[in-house]
């Protein structure tokens, strides 16, 4: 028996807290992945950023809409992350907040649109394309799967679960790629053979979104 | 007040070092470092870029005729772009993000700003200052434009093509040759004239490109000009060179 919940402000808060937990849990993994092809700061930076987000939530009244929670996440990440993930995830959460608007509860269609907006924001900010071995390689299939699920009549939690599954597959598929963006692109062919840390953290974040809503794991 | 500059680097030391270097040639220009990221109260900055630091630096540099931002690696660019999106439209209109090599761009922009140039002229100086080592050349630093005259400018042929043209050639009499101060004087003077001016194959309105020619005493300066003020531009260069830029020897 699986319980799903509405995607309301409480869900958004659970999502953020769950993200902070899994990022902390996978901090060493993300650092190792980034050490292989980057500057080894992704795990540390994201952990610092989401810890700050949780601290912010603990210190003030919880915002009343999902969008307000997401916007607070965006502002905190931008100020605290420091690496490329700051502006990228900051933009993603900001665009997600804008797309959700003042809705109290996010329906399936809005959930898919939210992931699309986050993905488009990351592409606009980082100017990466699919196949460049970046987080775009997780966000793009996530967005497409979320839209397919929404169109097929899935409920909002299942839309998130579809996105999370596709993001995981997308992250795994970055392993053989040669990086064409970011610090890893300086490595050329030596960047092949490792998953992209940004794609992996994207999968963690979207998995946390689905888990916080009780979405089905396909 | 001149145009201000903001130097964004992942490293606090790089940002401060670039500011120090650029300020040496531009004592009146406000140049603000925004390097590294905060790591909590009292701790030294870590490697990274900080939204808050970039935002504060733009604020500090914005007392004059606008701000040009220079950045190092990718996420510095992204952080700067984010900050720009958060500026009020009015403030945003007087800030430019240069696509330039950090060190060369900052020095060129600073020298240009010191000459009280406009925002877009300072931006152009920064973006024109791409320097490479060409082993086949005698001078250690030669700009891409100098190495391949004519290339890169092909898509912006002067609108005055077919208008009056003028040219001239002079030998540099002064001991220091075409160093920073005369380069700035030439570029600033030429910027006021309605003419496209090429000096030894590079844009005569770019301080950095003029400096990168590395022309010393006894070398020949050749100028070609197009446009309504072409003759005035050539005369201006000729007088400046022949007077040794007012330097005693």
How many CB pairs (< 8 A) connect A and B? 49
Furthest C-alpha separation in chain B: 63
Q: What is the pLDDT of residue B113?
A: 92
Q: Determine the pLDDT at residue B138.
A: 37
Question: How many Å lie between the alpha carbon of A177 and the closest alpha carbon of chain B?
Answer: 20
**C-alpha distance from B118 to closest chain A C-alpha (Å):** 28
Catalytic sites of B, residue numbers: 10
**Tally of CB atoms within 10 A around B134:** 16
Instruction: Please give the mean pLDDT across all residues of chain A.
Output: 93
Interface mutation target, options B10, B54, B78, B84, chain A, most CBs of A under 10 Å: B78
Position B188 confidence tier, pLDDT thresholds 50, 70, 90? confident
Q: At B129, list the tokens.
A: 């200052």
For B95-150, the pLDDT digits (tens) are: 999 999 999 899 989 988 988 889 999 998 898 876 544 434 434 333 444 444 44
Indicate the residue of A82, A90, A182 with minimum beta-carbon distance to B82: A90
d(CA B70, CA B107) in angstroms, rounded, equals: 10
pLDDT of residue B84 exceeding 70: yes
pLDDT band at B249 (very low <50, low <70, confident <90, very high): low
Q: How far is B154 from chain A (nearest CA, A)?
A: 27
Q: What is the DSSP string of B51-94?
A: HHHHHHHHHHHTTSS-EEEEE-SHHHHHHHHHHHHHS-HHHHTT
Beta strand pairing call for B220-226 and B165-171:
antiparallel
- Tell me the CB-side half-sphere exposure of residue B72, using CA atoms within 13 A: 22
Q: For residue A6, give both structure tokens.
A: 């509405």
Confidence of residue B153 (pLDDT cuts 50, 70, 90): very low
* ipTM for the complex shown: 0.81
Q: Which of A125, A57, A47, A48 is nearest to A80 (CA)?
A: A48
**Residue bearing tokens 């005569």:** B204
For chain B, give the mean pLDDT.
Answer: 84
What pTM was estimated for this model as a whole?
0.75
pLDDT > 90: percent of chain A = 84
CA angle B172, B176, B180 (to 5 degrees): 100
Chain A residues lying within 8 Å of B75, measured CB to CB: 83-84, 86-87
Q: What is the pLDDT of residue B139?
A: 41
Tell me if A45 and B48 make a contact (CB, 8 A cut-off): yes
Centroid of chain to Cα A148: 19
Instruction: Say what the pLDDT of residue B118 is.
Output: 93
**A59 compared with B129, residue with greater pLDDT:** A59
The answer to whether the CB atoms of A87 and B51 lie below 8 A apart is yes
Residues on chain B touching A181 (C-beta within 8 angstroms): 74
pLDDT at B162 over 80: no
Which chain A residue shows the shortest CA-CA distance from B40?
A80
Name the minimum distance, in Å, from the CA of A52 to any CA of chain B.
11
Contacts of A82 in chain B (CB under 8 A): 37-38, 46-50
**A201 near A85, Cβ under 8 Å?**
yes
pLDDT of A4 reads: 81
Angle at the Cα of B4 from the Cα atoms of B14 and B33, rounded to 5 degrees: 20
Does A84 contact B37 at a Cβ distance shorter than 8 Å? no
Nearest to B51 among A41, A78, A126 (CB): A78
Residue A215 has pLDDT above 80, yes or no: no
**Quick check: A218 pLDDT over 50?**
no
**What confidence tens digit (pLDDT) does each residue in B1-34 have?**
899 999 999 999 999 999 999 998 888 999 999 9
Contact state of B78 with A126 under an 8 Å Cβ cutoff: yes
Mark residue B17 as left, alpha or beta (left: phi above 0; alpha: psi -120 to 50; beta: remaining): alpha
Are the Cβ atoms of B78 and A88 closer than 8 angstroms? yes
Given this model, what pLDDT does residue B149 score? 43
Predicted local distance difference test score (pLDDT) of residue B222: 93
- Under DSSP, the state recorded for A160 is H
Distance CA A122, CA A128 (A): 8
Q: Do B46 and A81 touch (CB under 8 A)?
A: no
Quickly list DSSP for B109-161: HHHHHHTT--HHHHHHHHHT--EE--TTSSSS-EEHHHHSTTTT-GGG--TTT
The residue-averaged pLDDT of A65-86 equals 93
Q: Of the segments A202-206, A210-214, B143-147, B183-187, which one has the largest average pLDDT value? A: A202-206
Give the model confidence (pLDDT) of B38-67 as tens digits: 876 677 888 999 999 999 999 999 999 999
CA quadruple A116, A121, A126, A127: dihedral sign: positive
């Amino acid at each position: 028996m699986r319980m799903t919940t509405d995607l309301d402000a409480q869900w958004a808060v659970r999502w953020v807290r769950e993200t902070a937990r899994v990022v902390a849990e996978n901090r060493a993994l993300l650092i190792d992945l980034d050490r292989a092809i980057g500057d080894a700061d992704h795990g540390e930076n994201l952990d610092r950023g989401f810890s700050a987000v949780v601290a912010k939530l603990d210190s003030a009244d919880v915002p009343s809409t999902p969008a307000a929670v997401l916007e607070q996440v965006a502002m905190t990440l931008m100020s605290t992350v420091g690496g490329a993930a700051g502006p990228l995830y900051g933009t993603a959460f900001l665009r997600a907040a804008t797309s959700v608007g003042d809705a109290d509860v996010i329906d399936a269609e809005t959930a898919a649109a939210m992931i699309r907006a986050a993905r488009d924001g990351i592409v606009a900010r980082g100017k990466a394309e699919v196949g460049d071995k970046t987080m775009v390689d997780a966000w793009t299939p996530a967005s497409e799967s979320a839209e397919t699920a929404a169109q097929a009549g899935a409920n909002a939690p299942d839309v998130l679960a579809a996105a999370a599954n596709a993001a995981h597959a997308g992250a795994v598929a970055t392993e053989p790629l040669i990086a064409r963006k970011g610090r890893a692109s300086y490595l050329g062919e030596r960047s092949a053979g490792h998953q992209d840390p940004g794609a992996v953290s994207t999968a963690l974040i979207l998995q946390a979104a689905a888990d916080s809503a009780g979405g089905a794991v396909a | 007040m001149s145009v201000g500059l903001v130097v964004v680097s992942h490293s606090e030391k790089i940002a401060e070092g670039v500011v120090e270097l650029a300020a040496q040639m531009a004592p009146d220009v406000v140049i603000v470092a925004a390097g590294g990221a905060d790591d909590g109260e009292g701790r030294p900055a870590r490697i990274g870029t900080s939204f808050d630091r970039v935002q504060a630096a733009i604020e500090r540099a914005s007392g004059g005729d606008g701000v040009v931002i220079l950045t190092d690696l990718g996420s510095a660019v992204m952080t700067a772009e984010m900050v720009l999106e958060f500026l009020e439209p009015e403030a945003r209109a007087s800030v430019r993000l240069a696509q330039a090599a950090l060190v060369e761009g900052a020095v060129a922009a600073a020298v240009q700003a010191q000459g009280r140039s406009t925002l877009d002229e300072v931006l152009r100086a920064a973006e024109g200052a791409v320097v490479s080592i060409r082993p086949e050349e005698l001078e250690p630093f030669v700009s891409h434009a100098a190495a391949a005259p004519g290339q890169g400018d092909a898509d912006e042929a002067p609108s005055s093509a077919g208008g009056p043209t003028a040219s001239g050639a002079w030998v540099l009499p002064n001991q220091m040759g075409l160093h920073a101060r005369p380069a700035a004087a030439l570029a600033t003077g030429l910027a006021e004239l309605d003419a496209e001016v090429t000096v030894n194959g590079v844009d005569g309105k770019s301080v950095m490109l003029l400096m990168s020619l590395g022309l010393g005493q006894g070398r020949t300066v050749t100028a070609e000009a197009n446009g309504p003020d072409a003759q005035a531009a050539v005369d201006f260069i000729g007088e400046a060179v022949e007077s040794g830029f007012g330097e005693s020897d």
